[in-house]
C-alpha cells in the first residue's frame, strides 16, 4: 500500500469503529507503521467518526512528531509499547467497546473459552489491572501482555487490539465486542456454558497453526492446552467471577433469569379483556388515562388468563 492508501484506510477504519459503537466522541486512537521508522497515528482530540486526513500525524519509533498538525494521541506510549513488544505487529487500534469494558467493571473475565471460532482465531482476552490512562506504567503493562495476545482489555478503560494491518486489528476489536455481547446475553438468560477444555485446547492449537497469532503463542501450539490460560484447562463452569472466570451472576444462574413466563390463554378472553380496557380508558379523565388504562389492561389480562386455566 502507498502512504496515501494507508491514510485513506485509517479514515475508513476509524469511521467503522465509531459506526460500530466501539468508541464515541474523542475516544480511542489508531496507528499503523508506514515503514521501519515511521508510524502514522491519529492526533489528540479528534472525532474518529469524522476523521480527516489533517487529523493524522507521522511520528518516529520514540514518539517524536515528524510531520502533521497537532499533538499525537496522549496514549501513543501504549502503541509504541505494542510495536516494541511485537515486530510482527503493524497496526494498533485502541477503543472503548462498551460491553467489553462493562465486563471489566463487573469483574467478569473474558479470558475463557466460550465460542469455538473465537478460540480458533483470537484465543483468550486477558483483562489487565487498572493503571492511570496515558501513563508509561499502563503502556508497559500493555506491551507485556500484547507479547502473548492479539487483544487485551484494560480495567475500566478499553481494548487494545493489534494486527498485521488496520483491518486485522479492527476485526479483532469487533470480534471481542461481539463475544462480549453474546456472553452477556447468555448470562442474562442463565449461565455461560464453557467449551469442553480438551476441545478448546484442540481448537486453539489448530487456530494458531492455521491463522497464526503472537509468535510466543504460536510456539506453544503443540504443547498440552496450547497457549490457553490455566483456568481454561483446569475447570469448566467455574463459579468464581474474578479474576479469571465467567461464573453465573451472584444471585445464582437461574434466579437472574429475567424473562416472564406467559401462560397460554384462549384468544377470545384476551380480546374481550383488551376491549374492556379500551372502553375503560374512554370513560377516564385525561390525566388519569394512561395509568387507568394500564391498570385496566393488567387486571383484565390477569382475569382472562386465570379464566383460561
Ligand atoms: Zn482510551
C-alpha closest to that of 267 among 296, 301, 293, 234: 301
For 68, phi then psi, to 5°, come to 105, 165
Strands 127-128 and 151-154: parallel
3-state DSSP assignment of residue 38: strand
Residue 227 CA, ligand 1 centroid: distance in Å: 27
List, edge to edge, every strand of the sheet that includes 65-67.
Answer: 65-67, 56-60, 38-42, 29-33, 91-95, 158-163, 151-154, 127-128
What local confidence, expressed as pLDDT, does residue 288 receive?
A: 42
* Per-residue pLDDT at 262: 39
User: Grid coordinates in use for 275?
Assistant: 376491549
The rounded Å distance from CA 304 to ligand 1 centre is 54
Q: 23 CB contacts (<8 Å, ≥6 apart)?
A: 17, 48, 95, 96, 97, 158
Reported as a single tens digit per residue, the pLDDT across 182-221 is 999 998 998 888 888 888 889 999 999 999 999 999 999 9
Q: Is the dihedral of CA 248, 249, 252, 257 positive or negative?
A: negative
Each residue's pLDDT tens digit, 246-286:
444 444 333 333 333 333 434 444 455 455 444 444 433 44
- Per-residue pLDDT, 44: 95
Distance, in Å, from the CA atom of 201 to the CA atom of 207, rounded to the nearest integer, reads 10
CA of 134 to the centre of ligand 1 (A): 8
Mean pLDDT for 63-71 is 95
pLDDT at 23: 97
**C-alpha grid cell, residue 149:** 495476545
**Confidence class for position 101, pLDDT limits 50, 70, 90:** very high
What cell does 166 get?
488496520
Give the mean pLDDT of 105-126: 87
Distance 86 CA to ligand 1 centre (A): 21
| Cα 181 to ligand 1 centroid, rounded to whole Å | 20
pLDDT tens readout for residues 45-60:
999 999 999 999 999 9
Q: Looking at residue 135, what is its pLDDT?
A: 93
Cα separation, 266 vs 288, in Å, equals 30
Residue 87 has pLDDT above 50, yes or no: yes
pLDDT one-digit tens code per residue, 135-188: 999 999 999 999 999 999 999 999 999 999 999 999 999 999 999 999 999 989
Q: Work out the average pLDDT over 121-139.
A: 92
pLDDT band (50, 70, 90) for residue 28: very high
Q: How far is the CA of 106 from the centre of ligand 1 (A)?
A: 18
- Tell how far the Cα of 122 is from the centroid of ligand 1, in angstroms: 21
Predicted confidence at residue 229, as pLDDT, reads 77
Q: What is the pLDDT of residue 196?
A: 86
Mean pLDDT score of the chain, rounded to an integer?
81
Distance 279 CA to ligand 1 centre (A): 55
What distance lies between CA 169 and its chain's CA centroid?
Answer: 13
Q: Which of 26, 150, 36, 130 is nearest to 82 (CA)?
A: 150
For residues 217 and 228, the answer to whether their CB atoms sit within 8 Å is no
Residue 111: name the closest of 230, 205, 214, 207 by CA.
230
* Cα–ligand 1 centroid distance for 102 (angstroms): 14
Q: What is the dihedral of CA 182, 186, 191, 192, to 10 degrees?
A: -20
The pLDDT tens digits of the residues spanning 2-17 come to 999 999 999 999 999 9
Amino acid at each position: 500500500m502507498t502512504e496515501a492508501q494507508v491514510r485513506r484506510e485509517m479514515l475508513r477504519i476509524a469511521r467503522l469503529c465509531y459506526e460500530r459503537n466501539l468508541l464515541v466522541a474523542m475516544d480511542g486512537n489508531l496507528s499503523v507503521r508506514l515503514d521501519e521508522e515511521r508510524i502514522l497515528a491519529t492526533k489528540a482530540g479528534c472525532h474518529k467518526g469524522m476523521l480527516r486526513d489533517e487529523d493524522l500525524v507521522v511520528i518516529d519509533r520514540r514518539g517524536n512528531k515528524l510531520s502533521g498538525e497537532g499533538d499525537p494521541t496522549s496514549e501513543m506510549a501504549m502503541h509504541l509499547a505494542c510495536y516494541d513488544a511485537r515486530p510482527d505487529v503493524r497496526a494498533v487500534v485502541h477503543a472503548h467497546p462498551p460491553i467489553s469494558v462493562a465486563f471489566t467493571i463487573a469483574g467478569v473475565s473474558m479470558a475463557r473459552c466460550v465460542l469455538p471460532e473465537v478460540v480458533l482465531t483470537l484465543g483468550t482476552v486477558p483483562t489487565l489491572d487498572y493503571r492511570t490512562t496515558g501513563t508509561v506504567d499502563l503502556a508497559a503493562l500493555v506491551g507485556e501482555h500484547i507479547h502473548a495476545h492479539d487483544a487485551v482489555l484494560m480495567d475500566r478503560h478499553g481494548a487494545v487490539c493489534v494486527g498485521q494491518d488496520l483491518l486485522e486489528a479492527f476485526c479483532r476489536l469487533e470480534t471481542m465486542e461481539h463475544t462480549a455481547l453474546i456472553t452477556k446475553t447468555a448470562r442474562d438468560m442463565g449461565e455461560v456454558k464453557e467449551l469442553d477444555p480438551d476441545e478448546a485446547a484442540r481448537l486453539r492449537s489448530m487456530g494458531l497453526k492455521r491463522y497464526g497469532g503472537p509468535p510466543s503463542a504460536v510456539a506453544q501450539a503443540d504443547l498440552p492446552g496450547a497457549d490457553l490460560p490455566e483456568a481454561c484447562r483446569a475447570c469448566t463452569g467455574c463459579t468464581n467471577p474474578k479474576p479469571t472466570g465467567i461464573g453465573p451472576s451472584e444471585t445464582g444462574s437461574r434466579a437472574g433469569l429475567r424473562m416472564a413466563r406467559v401462560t397460554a390463554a384462549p384468544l377470545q378472553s384476551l380480546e374481550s379483556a383488551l376491549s374492556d380496557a379500551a372502553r375503560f380508558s374512554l370513560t377516564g379523565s385525561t390525566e388519569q388515562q394512561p395509568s387507568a388504562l394500564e391498570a385496566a389492561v393488567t387486571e383484565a389480562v390477569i382475569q382472562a388468563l386465570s379464566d383460561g386455566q
